Amino acid sequence: MSSFALEILGDCHDRASFSSGLEPVDRYLRETARGHFAKGVSVTRVLVDCESSTPKPILGFFTLSSITVDAKDWPGSPKGLPKHPVSAVLLGRLAVAESSHQRGIGSMLLASARQLARETIHRTGGLGLVVDAANEQVVEFYARFGFRRETSTGLRMFLPAASLEGGAEIPRG
């Protein structure tokens, strides 16, 4: 039986063949993610089958970075926040290869992103995990995991630090 590993995106991964069905996200993986990592902008992690050989097919990926947010009025934010923006972790992108949708991989990737966000917040502080959902359908996906909209109609969603526990994680390579 094959098992999965979560690795930081590198030269050994087959970015060109990845297709999630959402072109801007796929293009980010192909064209931008490596450069952003090299410049310290963000970190992209990819899910691979441990048995796969180079170039390793990418089953899914997500990207994390730091942001500052003015979250005084966000659902689940603590009361009495400072007036200036405070730090949070941004889940910039999350996608699963179209051929592997609906098999729980997105849920696993999200659990790993939550775990990494929790570790960052334990070390340096932070309000929680923020995501900009690509569209209304994806809002429903994130809402299943406790994310709430920042405003009633916008696509920015938030999961407070206290809610970051949970989910089946993937071993990190």
SS3 assignment, position 30: helix
Instruction: Indicate the residue whose CB is closest to ligand COA.
Output: 106
Return the range that interacts with ligand COA (CB under 6 A); candidates 21-29, 46-54, 70-78, 160-168: 21-29
Q: Which is nearer to ligand COA, 2 or 54 (CB)?
A: 2
- For ligand COA, the binding residue among 58, 95, 121, 170 (CB under 6 A) is 95
Q: Which amino acid is at 118?
A: R
Return the range that interacts with ligand COA (CB under 6 A); candidates 37-45, 95-103, 115-123, 146-154: 95-103
Q: Does 172 sit near ligand COA (CB under 6 A)?
A: no
Q: Does 105 sit near ligand COA (CB under 6 A)?
A: yes
- For ligand COA, the binding residue among 8, 10, 12, 21 (CB under 6 A) is 21
Q: Tell me, what DSSP letter sits at residue 68?
A: E
Q: Compute the radius of gyration of the chain from its Cα atoms.
A: 16
Query: How far is 51 from 3, CA to CA, in rounded Å?
Result: 8
Q: Does 67 sit near ligand COA (CB under 6 A)?
A: no
**Residues near 144 by beta carbon (within 8 Å), at least 6 away in sequence:** none
* CA-to-CA separations, 132 to 11, 39, 47, 60, 91, in angstroms, rounded: 27, 22, 21, 18, 8
Q: Interface with ligand COA by CB under 6 A: which residues?
A: 20-22, 25, 94-96, 101-107, 133-134, 137-138, 140-141, 144
